[in-house]
Amino acid sequence: MPGTARRADRPADRLPARAGSRYGNRPTMKDVAARAGVGLKTVSRVVNGEPGVTPDTERRVQEAIEALGFRRNDSARVLRKGRTASIGLILEDLADPFYGPLSRAVEEVARAHGALLINGSSAEDPEREQELALALCARRVDGLVVIPAGDDHRYLEPEIRAGVATVFVDRPAGRIDADVVLSDNFGGARDGVAHLIAHGHRRIGFIGDMPRIHTAAERLRGYRAAMEEAGIPVAESWMSLGVTDPERVRRAAEEMLSGPEPVTAVFTGNNRVTVTVIRVLAEQPHPVALVGFDDIELADLLQPGVTVVAQDAAALGRTAAERLFRQLDGTFLTPERIELPTRLVMRGSGELPPAR
Amino acid sequence: MPGTARRADRPADRLPARAGSRYGNRPTMKDVAARAGVGLKTVSRVVNGEPGVTPDTERRVQEAIEALGFRRNDSARVLRKGRTASIGLILEDLADPFYGPLSRAVEEVARAHGALLINGSSAEDPEREQELALALCARRVDGLVVIPAGDDHRYLEPEIRAGVATVFVDRPAGRIDADVVLSDNFGGARDGVAHLIAHGHRRIGFIGDMPRIHTAAERLRGYRAAMEEAGIPVAESWMSLGVTDPERVRRAAEEMLSGPEPVTAVFTGNNRVTVTVIRVLAEQPHPVALVGFDDIELADLLQPGVTVVAQDAAALGRTAAERLFRQLDGTFLTPERIELPTRLVMRGSGELPPAR
């Protein structure tokens, strides 16, 4: 707990003491000019590598830059060079383990192309997504991989026209035509639910994320399709969509599992929902079948093992990033939608028969 | 698998076709000047908000900027304003779940201060860490939270002198005096090993990360201290440090568990090691006790539940970020070392007696 933090003694400062606010304390070109005893334009010439400065003056300016720790404007340099060798990745949630392998795959591709990756998180807030995307563009990333929180990406059109490569991943872009790399969310959910039906279940619950999220809506559509194909009418009380917060998910699961006609199986719409439902099912008096969308670590070591519809998160990231660099190389001319298949991994929980 | 990707048809482009490489295709101030029919200096005046431009000319320049999608230099603007309202976070591995809650906590603090968070990963490579840190400084972040990969951070001294707030987290800074927020790695490991000794174990293995990593070395030191305090001489074959790659960890665990005098308990040095050792122990003919450093998701639902020395990853991130913003406000004058306690969470695996 931070409240009980201990503070160890340290040797005396080797850096200057920090007094007063640092905001606004960074050295400017004016400070460099004053220290070097030259005009602002001369500093600008040196910083920008323009001609018209004597070697002696240039040395004085460089010394002042070094002494003050002045950093010339990186974006200006980049503008002249024409490339920054950096790409941005906008995630939805830094703490969701699904995005770990996806981010790492994007980074590996970026590194193979000699580019740095900078990330940010929208925290599922469309305004934050836009703020972050434009902030990264202003910092001259060559391209953006976006896991969108919003459904209107027209704000990116000027950036795309200005040459920023853009690929959406996990969820499609809204109101603009852009490359998108997705899992087969509909097909994966339909297969997972059909698997439960094949094991004798008819009363099957669906617990998913907020319906405005593309993946959540697609997976619900897959659930409905599987039920319809099997001729099973779906009760409203079997479906619950909302935030993936553990309390909300627990309540939803407990409601479906109580009453005169409880569900005998649950299909969970993503890994955050699955981990909570696993806990609820462990407390039930009799076994309840479970198939979850997304694989989870240690799912095979639980008893029963958790049957999942696995996405290949690393392949999503890799495919999106490779596509981004192909855009930057000018290989493709038309935005495309690339859909990656999912994989049903049977481990026990999805093969349980209905209780009683 | 990406190889089997399907590509759906898309409606016709609404954006201009992308032909040729994009690198270097972005509009420059020169393009704006040409389109507006003015000189470069006039564009510069408009972009920088300097006086000496007639309203009519300014409008022509603004129209050209809009039409071309030119973005003025963000860093230059920031330099004038004196703050960017953004901080950077350098992680070690984007896919390690330990960093999820830490990153999210840093982001929440940043957001509460009206700042954006941009992340990058060093992938445990000191050169990459330096490249990324300097790239973020060049992009004018106000501060950096660093989980260091390297052990020499003198490269940051000019940045710190120039006003970049800097806090190290999870591992200390090397060769510079800087704020650092750590878990009590030594004490946590010592307590975890002492717990195994209290349950009757004497032959206890230690499997950890690479010894050059501060946390790995500290946890090994805690293991040695607990053994020494109990008067148990440690065999070299009981200790294995190296990469957390599953094959390496599996081999290490299997070696300790075989031979005439196998270990009866294992202490694992971090969550990546723990998940592999759990798998190895599940295959053993008799129960082997386990205490792991770091909590892991679903550890309580395994059989037996996994006893861990838990760090509060969110508190580490929150404490570091709050410290960063206090530096920016000028509240503290001397770099400090803040150590957060760990917590032993007993769930079964650490309370098993020695087999036989």
Instruction: Please tell me the distance in Å from A157's CA to the nearest CA on chain B.
Output: 8
How many CB atoms neighbour CB A42 within 10 A? 22
Residues 91-110 of A with CB under 8 A from B: 93-97, 100-101, 103-104, 107
> Is there a single domain that holds both residue B307 and residue B320?
no
> Is there a single domain that holds both residue B261 and residue B279?
yes
Q: What is the pLDDT of residue B312?
A: 97
How many CB atoms neighbour CB A46 within 10 A? 24
> Is there a single domain that holds both residue B156 and residue B208?
no
Residue B132 in tokens: 């990324």
Closest by alpha carbon to A168, among B332, A160, A28, B338? A160
pLDDT tens-digit series, residues A298-318: 999 999 999 999 999 999 999
Residue B306 lies in a domain: yes
Q: How far apart are CA B313 and CA B342, in angstroms?
A: 10
Classify A210 in phi/psi space as left (phi over 0), alpha (psi -120 to 50) or beta: beta
**Domain of A210: which CATH number?**
3.40.50.2300
Contacts (Cβ under 8 Å, ≥6 apart) of A182: A169, A170, A171, A172, A316, A337, A338, A339, A340
Name chain B contacts of A177, Cβ cutoff 8 Å: 10-11, 13-15
**Terminal Cα distance for chain B, rounded:** 47
> Is there a single domain that holds both residue A160 and residue A100?
yes
Q: What is the pLDDT of residue B74?
A: 44
Q: Which residue has the tokens 């509909």?
A: A186
Q: What is the pLDDT of residue B83?
A: 42
Residue A38 lies in a domain: yes
> Is there a single domain that holds both residue B298 and residue B194?
yes
For chain A, give the percent of residues with pLDDT over 90: 65
Q: How far apart are CA A50 and CA A349, in angstroms?
A: 69
The ipTM (two decimal places) reads: 0.77
Name chain A contacts of B117, Cβ cutoff 8 Å: 120-121
> Is there a single domain that holds both residue A104 and residue A62?
no
Domain enclosing residue A50, as ranges: 2-70
Closest by alpha carbon to A99, among A309, A293, A294? A294
Residue B39 in tokens: 């000189």
Residue B79 lies in a domain: no
> Is there a single domain that holds both residue B115 and residue B249?
no
**Domain of B21: which CATH number?**
1.10.260.40
Residue A79 lies in a domain: no
Residue A143 in tokens: 């391209």
Name chain A contacts of B93, Cβ cutoff 8 Å: 104
Residues 185-244 of A with CB under 8 A from B: none
* Edge-first strand listing for the sheet containing A289-293: A239-241, A204-208, A265-268, A289-293, A307-310, A343-345
Nearest CB among B15, B74, B312 relative to A75 is that of B74
Residue A223 lies in a domain: yes
Q: What rounded mean pLDDT belongs to chain A?
A: 87
pLDDT tens-digit series, residues A38-92: 988 888 788 766 778 888 998 898 888 877 767 654 433 333 343 448 999 999 9
> Is there a single domain that holds both residue A162 and residue A269?
no
Q: What is the pLDDT of residue B13?
A: 30
Instruction: Please tell me the distance in Å from B234's CA to the nearest CA on chain A.
Output: 30
Q: How far apart are CA A201 and CA A199, in angstroms?
A: 6
Domain C-terminal end among A10, A44, A70 = A70
DSSP B233-280: PPPGGGEEES---HHHHHHHHHHHTSSSS--SEEEESSHHHHHHHHHH
pLDDT tens-digit series, residues A191-248: 999 999 999 999 999 999 999 999 999 999 999 999 999 999 999 999 999 999 999 9
Closest by alpha carbon to A171, among A192, A139, A146, A199? A146
By C-alpha distance, the chain A residue nearest B277 is A298
Q: What is the pLDDT of residue A167?
A: 97
Q: Which residue has the tokens 């606010």?
A: A21
Residue A120 lies in a domain: yes
Walk along chain B (356 residues) and give the pLDDT tens digit of each residue.
333 333 333 333 333 333 333 333 556 778 888 899 998 888 878 876 677 888 889 889 888 887 776 765 443 333 334 344 899 999 998 889 999 999 999 999 998 998 989 999 999 999 999 999 998 888 888 999 999 999 999 999 989 888 899 999 999 999 999 999 999 999 999 999 999 999 999 999 999 999 999 999 999 999 999 999 999 999 999 999 999 999 999 999 999 999 899 999 999 999 999 999 999 999 999 999 999 999 999 999 999 999 999 999 999 999 999 999 999 887 766 899 999 999 999 999 999 999 96
Q: What is the pLDDT of residue B9?
A: 34
> Is there a single domain that holds both residue B291 and residue B326?
no
> Is there a single domain that holds both residue B202 and residue B276?
yes
Q: Are B200 and B353 in contact (CB under 8 A)?
A: yes
State phi, psi for A17 to the nearest 5 degrees.
-60, 145
> Is there a single domain that holds both residue A196 and residue A332?
no
Angle between helices A40-47 and A55-68 (to 10 degrees): 90
pLDDT band with cut points at 50, 70 and 90 for residue A23: very low
Closest by alpha carbon to A179, among A340, A312, A334? A334
> Is there a single domain that holds both residue A116 and residue A245?
no
Residue B356 lies in a domain: no
Q: How many domains does chain B have?
A: 3
Q: Which residue has the tokens 């920090």?
A: A18
Q: What is the pLDDT of residue B71?
A: 62
Residue A356 lies in a domain: no
Nearest CB among B69, B76, B302 relative to A298 is that of B302
Any A CB within 8 A of B273 CB: no
B179 in helix, strand or coil?
A: strand
Contacts (Cβ under 8 Å, ≥6 apart) of A9: none
By C-alpha distance, the chain A residue nearest B165 is A22
Q: Are A17 and B116 inside 8 Å of each other by CB?
A: no
Instruction: Please say if the pLDDT value at position A258 is more than 90.
Output: yes
Q: How far apart are CA A72 and CA A77, in angstroms?
A: 8
Nearest CB among B73, B103, B315 relative to A79 is that of B73
Q: How far apart are CA A162 and CA A331, in angstroms?
A: 17
